[in-house]
């Protein structure tokens, strides 16, 4: 999971941190600790966003069915596959290796079935609840010069991306 988090954090810098840091600069925020706090929170939000994006690709709404399973078919390094590999026995592991990254409907179904047997959806629910709780706590401890309204809005937007999020898990 550590390498996944590094990749997700790297992707998060341009998506979350840079826009917020630029807004802080334009607003005249010059307290160095404020930038460190915002950087840390933005990386956590970005990692959560990446995991959610990966999860939705596999377990998302049927309205997006033309997109569902794309990451499985192309063999993308995603949150569900990282968790599945970590939780799998040798049989599941071998089946994942034989079927993941194959653009074949049957092989995609095999991978999704293994994800179901390994309770990836339930594991994601626990992960999402814990991450949201930690991020919310950090947002609450931001210095006064940084409005936490922006971060609360971002978290609410991520929660509202789909109706199955675990807000009150």
Report pLDDT digits (tens) over 54-71. Answer: 999 898 865 555 556 789
Query: Could you state, in order of their start, the residue ranges of all structural domains in the chain?
Result: 2-159
* pLDDT, tens digit, 9 for 90 and up, residues 95-123: 999 999 999 999 999 999 999 999 999 99
Question: What angle, rounded to 10 degrees, do the helices at 120-140 and 105-117 form?
Answer: 70
Lowest mean pLDDT among 10-19, 89-98, 152-161: 152-161
Give the CA distances from residue 106 to residues 45, 54, 69, 102, 110, in Å, rounded to whole numbers and listed in that order: 34, 20, 12, 9, 6
Q: Are 52 and 128 in contact (CB under 8 A)?
A: yes
- In tens, the pLDDT along 119-147 reads 999 999 999 999 999 999 999 888 777 77
pLDDT value of position 50: 93
Q: Rounded to an integer, what distance in angstroms lies between the CA atom of residue 21 and that of residue 18?
A: 5
Give me the architecture of the 2-159 domain, per CATH. Orthogonal Bundle (1.10)
């Amino acid at each position: 999971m550590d390498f996944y988090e590094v990749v997700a954090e790297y992707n998060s810098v341009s998506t979350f941190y840079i826009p917020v840091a630029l807004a802080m600069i334009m607003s005249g925020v010059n307290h160095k600790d404020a930038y460190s706090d915002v950087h840390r929170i933005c990386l956590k939000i970005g990692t959560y966003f990446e995991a959610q994006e990966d999860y939705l690709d596999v377990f998302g709404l049927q309205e997006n069915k033309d997109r569902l399973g794309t990451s499985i078919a192309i063999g993308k390094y995603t949150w569900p596959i990282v968790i599945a590999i970590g939780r799998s026995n040798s049989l599941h592991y071998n089946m994942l290796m034989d079927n993941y990254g194959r653009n074949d409907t049957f092989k995609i179904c095999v991978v999704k079935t293994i994800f179901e047997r390994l309770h990836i959806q339930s594991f994601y629910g626990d992960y999402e609840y814990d991450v949201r709780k930690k991020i919310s706590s950090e947002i609450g401890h931001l210095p006064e010069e940084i409005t936490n309204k922006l971060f609360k809005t971002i978290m609410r937007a991520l929660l509202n991306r789909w109706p199955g999020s675990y807000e009150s898990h």
